[in-house]
Amino acid sequence: MSEFAFELELCAHLETRRDGVLARQLGASVADPGGRILDVLCVEPGPEFDDRVRLTSESIPDAAIESAVGTGRARYWKTAFDCHPDRARSATERACEIGFFEREHRKGRDYVRQVARYPDWYGRIVGIENKPDLGRPGDLEAQLRTDVSLALVDEVILATESYVTRAHLNRIPEEVGVWRVHREDGAPLEIEIVREPTSLPVDEPGIEPLEAHPGRTEIAVVDPDAKARQRRRIAERTYGKGWRTYEFPDCGACDPDDSSGATLPYCEWKGRIVDAGSECGASCGGYDPVSDADTDTDADSVPDSDSDTDPELHSGSALESDADSATAIDLEAERDRRTPWKADPDGKRRQQSGLDQFG
């Protein structure tokens, strides 16, 4: 049972049934960045979602949003940030590059202003923990207890393929919703709701467990402002990154499958979706190398990186692995086509012509 295949199929299913944007594998801690990674994030649209879509396709760096740079008079970038100058410089450059800031150059100094006010664009955030096989739970209980006590996201859901018993339900916090996911060969994926989630108090202080020692666990009390900032970072990362951050192997056994509405890396040899990064290559018994002539990297499909020191945003590429196909697999175009996210919104184009003016 592959957790990776489960995750991609679940995302493809949710994309067709939920409003807003989805991402995979994002950090959901506050006091210990990277301490907790959530498998799937669903960010629901807020009142100004359309304004966010128009602004830029990329994640906006948090430092740029928090800065004193506004939409009115352009400000000297150095005086507009309350953080280390290197972080401020990097956020300024990235915000200009993605079209959130526009720049004027006066007397050897860069002055910046926001192209548009940062919108109130996201609503509830739902975190999903995937555990296809409850017989191999790993740290599941501790992870879900952390999610509930921190209450960074509005709802937490456990998604599994296993039959869920009363004993399973008793072991996980009662606030956690439970989905049983049915995946039969050739049939559309179905979600059976075993238990509805309870809304978590995202506006109240949260408790984040840090290190566990024999007999005691270090904790951090996380204040609501810190949670709100982290929620905004999660929402931004989700918007910019999306969930199509997987690769297609350069192997003849890969037969990309779009029957779910999203193109997924299906392997004929394994009979399931595969994670090219960890499963494919010469050491695989079914590896059938595709020649360079048959493989075409589609640069447009590689998500742009984010300068907000988030390594998770630097992954993602797609290869044309079907030699008979004249069209490269362009996951970015597919995301543009199938979701509210826009790869090349008007705001970005306006900013680029604005830059020419000062260039």
**Contact residues for ligand SF4 (CB under 6 A)?**
249, 251, 253-254, 267, 269-270, 274, 279-280, 284, 286-287
Hey, what's the torsion of the CAs at 144, 134, 315, 260, to 10 degrees? -120
Least Å distance, CB 248 to ligand SF4, is 9
Q: Which amino acid is at 345?
A: P
Least Å distance, CB 253 to ligand SF4, is 4
Q: In sequence order, what DSSP letters do the residues of 92-135 get, joined into one string?
A: HHHHHHHTSEEEEEETTEEEEEESSPPP--EEEEEEEEE-S-TT
If the CB atoms of residues 124 and 270 are measured against ligand SF4, the closer one turns out to be: 270
What lies within 8 Å, CB to CB, of 80 at 6+ separation is 67, 68, 69, 88, 112
Least Å distance, CB 316 to ligand SF4, is 18
* Distance (Å, whole) CA 280 – CA 269: 11
If the CB atoms of residues 151 and 262 are measured against ligand SF4, the closer one turns out to be: 262
Least Å distance, CB 267 to ligand SF4, is 3
If the CB atoms of residues 85 and 289 are measured against ligand SF4, the closer one turns out to be: 289
* Distance (Å, whole) CA 194 – CA 202: 24
CB atoms under 10 Å from CB of 288, counted, come to 13
* Distance (Å, whole) CA 350 – CA 102: 10
Least Å distance, CB 285 to ligand SF4, is 7
If the CB atoms of residues 47 and 277 are measured against ligand SF4, the closer one turns out to be: 277
Classify 203 as helix, strand or coil.
Answer: coil
If the CB atoms of residues 196 and 288 are measured against ligand SF4, the closer one turns out to be: 288
Least Å distance, CB 150 to ligand SF4, is 37
CA-based nearest residue to 23, from 278, 303, 272, 300: 303
Query: Which residue has its beta carbon closest to ligand SF4?
Result: 286
* Distance (Å, whole) CA 290 – CA 271: 19
CB atoms under 10 Å from CB of 28, counted, come to 24
If the CB atoms of residues 47 and 289 are measured against ligand SF4, the closer one turns out to be: 289
Least Å distance, CB 317 to ligand SF4, is 15
12: tokens are 């493809």
CA-based nearest residue to 294, from 269, 322, 318: 322
If the CB atoms of residues 63 and 280 are measured against ligand SF4, the closer one turns out to be: 280
If the CB atoms of residues 174 and 288 are measured against ligand SF4, the closer one turns out to be: 288
Least Å distance, CB 321 to ligand SF4, is 8
